[in-house]
Structure 1
Amino acid sequence: MYLNCHTWYSMRYGIFSEKQLCELAKQNAVDALAVTDINSTTACLSFIKMAKHYGLKALVGIDFRNEHQQVYVGIAKNNEGYLRLNNFLSYHLKEKIPFPEKAPSFEDCYFIYPFKPEKKWHLSQLTENEFIGVSFKSFQQAKFKDFSTIESKLIALNSLSFRNKKDYNTHRLLRAIDNNTLLSKLPQSQCGFPEDKMHSLEESLTLFEHHPDLLKNTKKLIDSCHVDFEFEQKVNRNLQVFGKSKEEDESTLKELCYANLEKRYVEPSSKVLERVKKELDAIISLGFVSYFLINYDIIQYAKSKKYSFIGRGSGANSAVAYILGITNVDPVELDLYFERFINSSRSSPPDFDLDFSWKDREDITQYIFERHANTALMGTYVTFKHKAVVRELGKVFGLPKENMNRLASGYFQWEQLDDLEKLVLKYGSYIQGFPNYTSVHSGGILILDQPVHQYAATFFPPKGFPTIQIDMNIAEDVGIHKFDILAQRGLSKITDAIQLIKENQPTAQIKDIEDVQQFKTDPKINTLLAKGDCMGVFYIESPAMRGLLTKLQTDNYLNLVAASSIIRPGVSSAGMKEEYIKRHRYPEKRKEAHPVLYEIMPDTYGVMVYQEDVMKVAHHFAGLDLDDADVLRRGMSGKKTSKGQMQKIEAKFRDNCKAKGYDKALVEEIWVQISSFAGYAFPKGHSASYAVESYQSLYLKCYFPLEFMVAAINNGGGFYAIETYLQEIKNCGGFLHLPSVNKSDYPVLIDGKEVYLGLGYLKELEIKTVRLILENRAFYGVYTSLENFIDRLKISVEQIAILIKASAFRFTQKDKHQLLWEAHFLLQKSKNTNSQPKLFSKKEKKFTLPSFSQNFITEYYDQLQVLGLSLINPFLLLKEKVTSSVRVNELKNYQGKQVTLYGYLITAKRTRTSKGESMLFGTFYSEDFEVFDTVHFPKVASHFPIRSKGIYKCTGRIAVEFDYVALIVDSIYKMEVLSNPRFVSKY
């Protein structure tokens, strides 16, 4: 009876999930129903899978609508019909054209037109697979209508969208949000009907008892439909053959591997050869050959375009991937577990996360789509978040903005709210978590054996690549495994820095950036690591990471690999970070490790640091086989496992430990460590991949700091604000300049040691203005004066004012106030409407203007206004001239003593203690622009809040822990600065 069911994937229309739909059907003794979401097949796969567990027959299709007006409902007879429906929907979504009034002629599909009493139906108009659907509401409205002429084509089509009145009210709110209108102004045409709910079987039979053909047609349709997928079996639906045949693929992979073997291992040992053979045998037997060849092909394309990349994920544990150049992590050197990468119980291919520059990823994606036929981006769903839905509902109810802000912030008292505000919160908590709209997964790409539309329809986001309407969870259930093609700015910093070096220092010798081994052994680079001098360096520049590197005195690659994982929250929260640091710094502490654990993990002193350590402990300590150990690791990491599998493995873990005679308290401690950190720790190969990129960045920072910092700024900076990297340029001996119409480019530009801020950094300067300035300068040379500039460009006085305030015309050596007056005079006089440059320049006019005063204070505020930052030393603006009691480089000598430091805030991070209290970690520049860190325990953090940028007087005691120095703050006050004299009243 229910051939038109809507889940909440009928975005901003439906109310319940597929599971709730199944539960509703069971409660009402309904044994078959069809999910037909509005212009979507998102819920179909999960509904088919779920329905089996509820003993339901699952039909799937689409409710085709134009502007939310139902045209017809399409239901698939079989998998081929499901494919056709997805093709049809995807085409119309791509072309953005309405669905035709007449349904397509698909033999494997049924189409049901909604009954309209006013319409005259003729059987000759309907094909064998077309019907007229009568809902409860439409049947009651046409109670006395004669159906005899069309009864052979009638079918029960009651829409199912709601369970109760609350659902219907929520539906109307969602429709108002979707239409961006007040609830009171929402037209009924945009909504469903309260009657669109489930009725008992008796009610249905009673209503249609005088129309046996209608019931017969409905049952016949239901019985003839069967769409199914193999969810319970381990099926891999990715592209299975890369070349002409599986045999050819296997031969190609072996040839590539052995042809490139000696490039990675000059004289391969028997251990290496044995590992390579073992891996190849496993890859071939489990059917992952094409997966490796696809990734290899992508990397080869990237290399041909000279794109930087990083290969990571569980695939980084693979010697085959290392030999093929997919990763730069040597699994033999790092003793990476083969079973972490692949094992007999694994049905999914190993993960390869391929990172490219954010500038290159789109071209890589385009190449993949052109190379392979059955390709799509992975979809995902953005859900309603609390703050957002409260604001949306506030608009629907017509609440003032300040009321919405208060409700969204959570700072209110329930008893002081009015009825509308309480309704907003009531329905906001109900809607929170509903799917809001379909989006694109951050990096997932599908390369399938069969057409993508066999599984779901696709939509087309702004980038123009087809994106499947399902997410990765149900995709994996049906055997679809994504390729991860990701973007990051760290790689762009490297490639851009190298290009800047070539342009700025043509004679400089730049080492091969891919030969990371030479960087690992460079004492200068390792000295930067040990000092934590890593500002701008990928992944290791945050205050927490710099502090950890200092504590560990990290001066080698393996130590950096460990640090990259230790910093993760799971390791820290389980107390293993502190234990690792102690055992690293003080060898005698290593004796405290349990002998078995120390023997299992000697490189980390018996401390679990990586995800693989879960496997090691489970295998060697608890005696689980490696396949079970990997299942345990996956389960602890939040990956899917079979029902009940984790409980069985935990029981086996404990039973084995008991049989080995381990102390019960020790077993419990180990289990707590495993369960607390595995989900957050990195795989060792992942940490190693990150460490490779960190070393590449460290090399550039060590030997070419100015170019590296400019590249960092031009790629959006990193952990810190842009002004922090500008200060680093000064600290590295560079000379910073404000934007200049004659020197600057759009991004930051470097010329020797002179660094010019880009015109693109002027907040209100339009892109088209920047383009005009640069193009005209490129064709006709530098600007000789303000009048020459105005004569050559069609530009508004507002845009010129921005440039003047930024001192972009300082080459004229005229005061900014004078330039502003001249600009007004010249623009009012010329009114140049011709965009063509003049052949002959006019003689410049001389203006007599009064004298103006300009000082560093007004200059500071001008820069702040147009750039959002200032190149002027902020300490010069303090009302009270101050001097810190000690220099930053002397702080270690003041351990335990009270000191006062004045610091310009770089960043402040709020976190929670184990008791749930809020505390703060701060990073500041001293008066000498040396970095120092602060710790604000809960009482201090609450009494002395830090709310904005500025200079603070920090008083407290110096703490030194493993050579890492921090100021434990007792009090902190923001210092007053000189005001902008233009806005200070004289009265």
Structure 2
Amino acid sequence: MYLNNHSYYSLRYGTISEVELLAMAQENECEYFPITDINNTSACLNFVRKAASYNIKPIVGIDFRNNIEQYYVCLAKSNEGFLELNEFLSAHLHKQQPFPDYAPKFKDSFIIYPFERVLALEKTSFSTNEFIGIGLADINKLRFSKLREFTDKLVILHPVTFRNKRDYNTHRLLRAIDANMLLSKLPESQQAKPEHIMHSREIVENTFSDYPYIITNTNRLVEQCSIEFNFSKSRDNQNLKTVFGTTNADYEKLVALCKLGLPKRYDLITDAIRRRLDKELSLIKQQRFVSFFLINWKIIQYAKSNDYYYVGRGSGANSIVAYLLEITDVDPIELDLYFERFMNLYRANPPDFDIDFSTWDREDVTRFIFEEFGQKGQAALLGAYVTFKHSGAVRELGKVFGLPKHEIDKLSDGRYNPNQLDKLSKLVLQYAKYLHGRPNYLSIHAAGILISEKPIHYFSATHLPPKGFPTVQFDMHIAEDVGLYKFDILGQRGLGKIKDAITIVRENQPTAKLPNIHNAKPFFVDSNINAMIERADCIGCFYVESPAMRMLLKKLGVRDYLTLVAASSIIRPGVAKSGMMREYILRHKNPERRKQAHPVLWDIMPDTYGVMVYQEDVIKVAHHYAGLDLGEADVLRRGMSGKYRSREEFQAVKNKFIDNCRVKGETDEVIFEVWRQIESFAGYAFAKGHSASYAVESYQSLFLKCYYPLEYMVATINNGGGFYRVETYVHEARMKKATIHAPCINTSCIETIIKGKEIYLGFQHLQGFEKRNMLKIMNIRCDGLFVSLDDFMERVPMSIEQLDILIRINAFRCFGKDKRSLLWEAHFKCNHIVINELQQQLFKLHTKNFALPEFTITNLENAFDQLELLNFTLYNPFILLKDPPSNGLLCSQLATYLNKVVVIYGYLVTAKNTSTSKGDRMFFGTFFDQKGQWLDTVHFPPVAKKYPFRGKGIYRITGKVVSEFDFLTIEVIKQERMPYISDPRFDTTYNRKELPSEPKSFGLLR
């Protein structure tokens, strides 16, 4: 009876969720019910999954429309019909082609042409699976139409898009947002009709009472439709089942690869190693995950053949099979990684392999996956829904209501008095609440790729985002529900830094003998590297450079691999929030403190002193302490991390956890404290294998930082930095004895380069300097270095604005002229020569040279030019202060002022805001002192509110020096941002001879 039903996945059109549609169908006593979203299948799988709980037999279809004009509605008779509908829709979405007037000759789908459309097409013949859709509004027209003679082809086609007036208003707002126009200007042709609601069966039957055969035809049509997907726990894995033709061949290949890997990974192959391998292989075969490992192995083999750097992480790092296949570089035997976190009989979905590549290599790896596994349409990127958030919804609605920008800003930021709002503003806020959380448009999952046994269109239509790869129209939760498990291929700058650093070392130090960077085990025992970690000299290094991590490394006194693995997880917000980070530090530094551990927890987690640090600790505690089976323990772990769909299932496991502990005689005080710890951190802690993978990459970058610090800093700068801005890495290179040069026209490249210990910043760091001009300079310089400004202007034509950037950064200093003279020359010659950047000059044009006075350029003027063009200065920023610092206190002297109030000056590097348990805002500050050393501050809520940060610059900080675990910080009492001197380039009263001409760095004279 209801053949054309839209959910809110009819994007920027529909208003009802697929689950709400099912509830409406149940209320109207429907036995069959289709979902037919407009050019979209996002809701279909979840609709089928949920239908049984509403006693509904689901039907899936698509409402094919050009713009919003309905061409035909198609219903899948079967799964094969859904496949052909998805293929047809996807072909048009990929090519962005309009749908044809007539649907294809589908074999397993019904085609319903709207009544008005049939009249417009003058269609008079219909195949077996074609029908004419009659809406409630069409019934009177039908009486006078020849189409009434097609008695066996007429079915009810009434769109269901709304429930009520509010839904209709929301629909109109969505249409205005989609059209990017004022609501008052939205034409009716871009809207659905208000009557497109779900009328009761009684109303529908009464409307068609004179045509009972139409009702019969409609019922007969839906009774022929059936769609089935298995969503039960026993569902089959829908991923590609074989890689080498048969399951036996796959398993034999996996075993052979493991045998090859054993002597490569282990000098001594013990019985424990063999038992672990046999156990894993047996379970992998039993769980039918062999192809999952082989697909990942193939991806890694391709990456290695192209010398791509990668890191395999995720729970798969707990697997010795993954280690032997070189998918991961973490030895699960050495780290005693918990096998059941990786895989167990109760776990239906495969373990995770998150494989990181450098950003540049990732695109090619993705291309390989589609070419290798997607030849038959079996590969696709995983989709994601971008939903309306409050702020975004307010802005969109504010525009369609015609509010001025300042009003929209106030509403979006929450800076308004509710009692002073006008009617339109109240409507904006009201409908923003309705839109919040609803899908806005389709996007791409950050990393997920699906490789299925069946064609991917068996499950979904695909669209083609800018990345150029087919992308399914559902998200990771729906994919897991139906048995499709993603392969995570991620991009990571840290790997790009390692790869580039090795290349730079080979160029800058050709005689250097670099070890195999992929074998990190020698780095773990390198005393120089471990000493560097202990003093937190880790700027630029993967995952260990942030202020919080630098603080933790010093507090723990980390000087070995295993402690760094723990640190990688306890830095996570959940562990810190639960108080377990502090407890771990206390027990790590004080053996007596370890005696306070619960005996059972100590026995379960001796390596972390009885403190829960890793995700699998949840499984261990639930299994050994609370007596849950491994399946229940994994439900608990997944529930804590948000990867579950059933609150009831999770609550049942929680209740059993508490009951089992009570039966064992544990007190409620202990039970609920253990539960609190689990609950507070599990979703934010790492799996131990994941932390170990991170620690391996940290050691690889630490090795390069330790022995090749300047080359590594150049690689860091060229890869966009890391946690900090580029300025910080330039400063770090200087502190490591490099000489830093601004871009030079005859030496610099687009990226930053190093020659010995001389680092030349690249042209890419110049704000406003165009990429095409960088390329021209590099290409033309191949024919010979530039010898003068005239030579440059003749060979590299560019606008005076672009030339001005190069001159002011002093890129022409190699010619021996000051930049003010060069600016005079450039402006004079550009005013007398017509520059055509597309045509080389045939003849040299000479202009008259004028005798110019001798100009004095001070460091201060250069510093302000650099601030403007680089966003930072290569000089000591303290020369910019209007008034010199009132004292010279340095970080190295703070220990002598412990528990005393001091005044110290710091150049702001970064500030992190966080919330207290009461919800108040507080900050942690990171500064450089006057010699460029690190200074750490804490700003509690009252101080943070009274003395806020006011952007980049130098602050005069008054505070108390405190120490926790030998880590010194200043508890700020007061801070003020100190004013800079007036920009001398625009200050006519400035005396150009006041400052010395030699530049200063932080504590280092050049």
TM-score normalised over the length of structure 1? 0.97
- Cα–Cα, structure 1 residues 32 and 812, in superposed 2: closer, same or farther, change >3 Å? same
Distance across 2 between alignment mates of 1:693 and 1:365: 22
1:423 deviates by 1.2
1:678-700: CA deviations, max 9, x gaps? 11111000000000000001001
1:604-660: CA deviations, max 9, x gaps? 111111111112222222233334333322222222276744334333333332232
1:931 deviates by 0.5
Distance across 2 between alignment mates of 1:413 and 1:224: 58
Distance across 2 between alignment mates of 1:814 and 1:123: 82
1:397 deviates by 1.3
Which has the larger displacement, 118-127 or 969-978? 118-127
Q: Does 1:55 align with 2:55?
A: yes
Contact 1:137/1:195, CA 8 A, preserved across alignment? no
Q: Which residue of 1 aligns with 2:763?
A: 759
Q: Which residue of 1 aligns with 2:321?
A: 320
Q: Does 1:769 align with 2:770?
A: no
1:53 deviates by 0.9
Q: Which residue of 1 aligns with 2:461?
A: 457
1:397-448: CA deviations, max 9, x gaps? 1111111111111111012222111111111121121111111111101111
Distance across 2 between alignment mates of 1:765 and 1:309: 33
Task: Tell me the number of residue pairs that the alignment of Structure 1 and Structure 2 aligns.
Answer: 986
Q: 1:860 aligns with which of 855, 863, 867?
A: 863
1:55-134 map, 5 Å: 55-116=55-116, 119=119, 124-134=124-134
AA aligned to 1:744 is: S
Contact 2:799/2:835, CA 8 A, preserved across alignment? no
AA aligned to 2:158 is: N
Q: Which residue of 2 aligns with 1:40?
A: 40
Contact 1:857/1:978, CA 8 A, preserved across alignment? no
Give the secondary structure class of the aligned counterpart of 1:408. Answer: helix
Contact 2:312/2:327, CA 8 A, preserved across alignment? yes
1:672 deviates by 1.4
Contact 1:550/1:964, CA 8 A, preserved across alignment? yes
1:667-720: CA deviations, max 9, x gaps? 221111112211111100000000000000100111111111111111111111
1:841 deviates by 5.1
Distance across 2 between alignment mates of 1:432 and 1:132: 38
1:87-145: CA deviations, max 9, x gaps? 00111111111111011001211111111189267664322211121112333566655
Give the secondary structure class of the aligned counterpart of 2:148. Answer: coil
AA aligned to 1:882 is: P
Q: Which residue of 2 aligns with 1:334?
A: 335
Q: Does 1:670 align with 2:677?
A: no
AA aligned to 2:503 is: Q
- Cα–Cα, structure 1 residues 910 and 832, in superposed 2: closer, same or farther, change >3 Å? closer
Which has the larger displacement, 943-952 or 225-234? 225-234
Contact 2:318/2:337, CA 8 A, preserved across alignment? yes
Which has the larger displacement, 66-75 or 145-154? 145-154
Q: Which residue of 1 aligns with 2:604?
A: 600
AA aligned to 1:167 is: D
Q: Which residue of 1 aligns with 2:19?
A: 19
- Cα–Cα, structure 1 residues 519 and 840, in superposed 2: closer, same or farther, change >3 Å? farther
Q: 2:785 aligns with which of 770, 782, 787?
A: 782
- Cα–Cα, structure 1 residues 151 and 117, in superposed 2: closer, same or farther, change >3 Å? farther
Contact 1:136/1:195, CA 8 A, preserved across alignment? no
Q: Which residue of 2 aligns with 1:289?
A: 290
Q: Does 1:830 align with 2:853?
A: no
Q: Which residue of 2 aligns with 1:298?
A: 299
Distance across 2 between alignment mates of 1:103 and 1:480: 30
1:147 deviates by 4.8
Contact 2:346/2:630, CA 8 A, preserved across alignment? no
Q: Percent identity?
A: 52
Q: Which residue of 2 aligns with 1:172?
A: 172
Contact 2:798/2:837, CA 8 A, preserved across alignment? no
Q: Which residue of 1 aligns with 2:138?
A: 138
Distance across 2 between alignment mates of 1:578 and 1:838: 70
Q: Does 1:531 align with 2:532?
A: no
Distance across 1 between alignment mates of 2:870 and 2:115: 63
Distance across 2 between alignment mates of 1:624 and 1:121: 66
1:755-800: CA deviations, max 9, x gaps? 111111112111111111111112x211111111111122111111
Distance across 1 between alignment mates of 2:844 and 2:515: 50
Structure 1 unpaired stretches of 5+: none
1:506-521 map, 5 Å: 506-521=510-525
Q: Which residue of 1 aligns with 2:706?
A: 702
Contact 1:739/1:758, CA 8 A, preserved across alignment? yes
Contact 1:913/1:919, CA 8 A, preserved across alignment? yes
Contact 2:118/2:132, CA 8 A, preserved across alignment? no
- Cα–Cα, structure 1 residues 753 and 140, in superposed 2: closer, same or farther, change >3 Å? farther
Distance across 2 between alignment mates of 1:512 and 1:120: 72
Distance across 1 between alignment mates of 2:148 and 2:843: 89
Indicate the RMSD between aligned Cα atoms, in angstroms. 1.8
Contact 2:390/2:433, CA 8 A, preserved across alignment? yes
1:188 deviates by 1.3
Q: Which residue of 2 aligns with 1:580?
A: 584
1:475 deviates by 0.9
Distance across 1 between alignment mates of 2:511 and 2:913: 46
Q: Does 1:188 align with 2:191?
A: no
Q: 2:747 aligns with which of 743, 746, 755?
A: 743
Distance across 1 between alignment mates of 2:988 and 2:80: 78
Give the secondary structure class of the aligned counterpart of 2:119. Answer: coil
Distance across 2 between alignment mates of 1:210 and 1:633: 60
Q: 1:936 aligns with which of 935, 939, 946?
A: 939
Q: Which residue of 1 aligns with 2:924?
A: 921
Distance across 1 between alignment mates of 2:986 and 2:141: 71
Give the secondary structure class of the aligned counterpart of 1:155. Answer: strand
Q: Which residue of 2 aligns with 1:806?
A: 809
Distance across 2 between alignment mates of 1:222 and 1:929: 75
Distance across 2 between alignment mates of 1:476 and 1:140: 48
Distance across 1 between alignment mates of 2:242 and 2:448: 20
Which has the larger displacement, 636-645 or 524-533? 636-645
Structure 2 unpaired stretches of 5+: 991-1006
TM-score normalised over the length of structure 2? 0.96
Q: Which residue of 1 aligns with 2:370?
A: 369
1:608-687 map, 5 Å: 608-640=612-644, 644-687=648-691
Distance across 1 between alignment mates of 2:33 and 2:117: 25
1:150-165 map, 5 Å: 150-165=150-165
AA aligned to 1:632 is: L
Contact 1:61/1:74, CA 8 A, preserved across alignment? yes
Q: Which residue of 1 aligns with 2:401?
A: 397
Give the secondary structure class of the aligned counterpart of 1:306. Answer: coil
Contact 2:276/2:320, CA 8 A, preserved across alignment? yes
AA aligned to 2:173 is: L
Distance across 2 between alignment mates of 1:202 and 1:642: 36
Q: Does 1:963 align with 2:988?
A: no
Q: Does 1:797 align with 2:815?
A: no
Distance across 2 between alignment mates of 1:624 and 1:269: 32
Contact 2:142/2:148, CA 8 A, preserved across alignment? no
Q: Does 1:226 align with 2:226?
A: yes
Q: 2:431 aligns with which of 414, 427, 432?
A: 427
- Cα–Cα, structure 1 residues 668 and 784, in superposed 2: closer, same or farther, change >3 Å? same
Distance across 2 between alignment mates of 1:146 and 1:961: 89
Contact 2:743/2:811, CA 8 A, preserved across alignment? yes
Q: Does 1:250 align with 2:254?
A: no
Distance across 1 between alignment mates of 2:283 and 2:645: 21
Distance across 2 between alignment mates of 1:131 and 1:443: 42
1:329 deviates by 0.7
Give the secondary structure class of the aligned counterpart of 2:955. Answer: strand
Give the secondary structure class of the aligned counterpart of 1:125. Answer: coil
Q: Which residue of 1 aligns with 2:1002?
A: none
1:480-559 map, 5 Å: 480-559=484-563
1:295-321: CA deviations, max 9, x gaps? 111111111111111011111000111
1:568-627: CA deviations, max 9, x gaps? 111111111110000101111111112221122111111111111112222222233334
Q: 2:443 aligns with which of 425, 439, 444?
A: 439
1:969 deviates by 0.6
- Cα–Cα, structure 1 residues 414 and 965, in superposed 2: closer, same or farther, change >3 Å? same
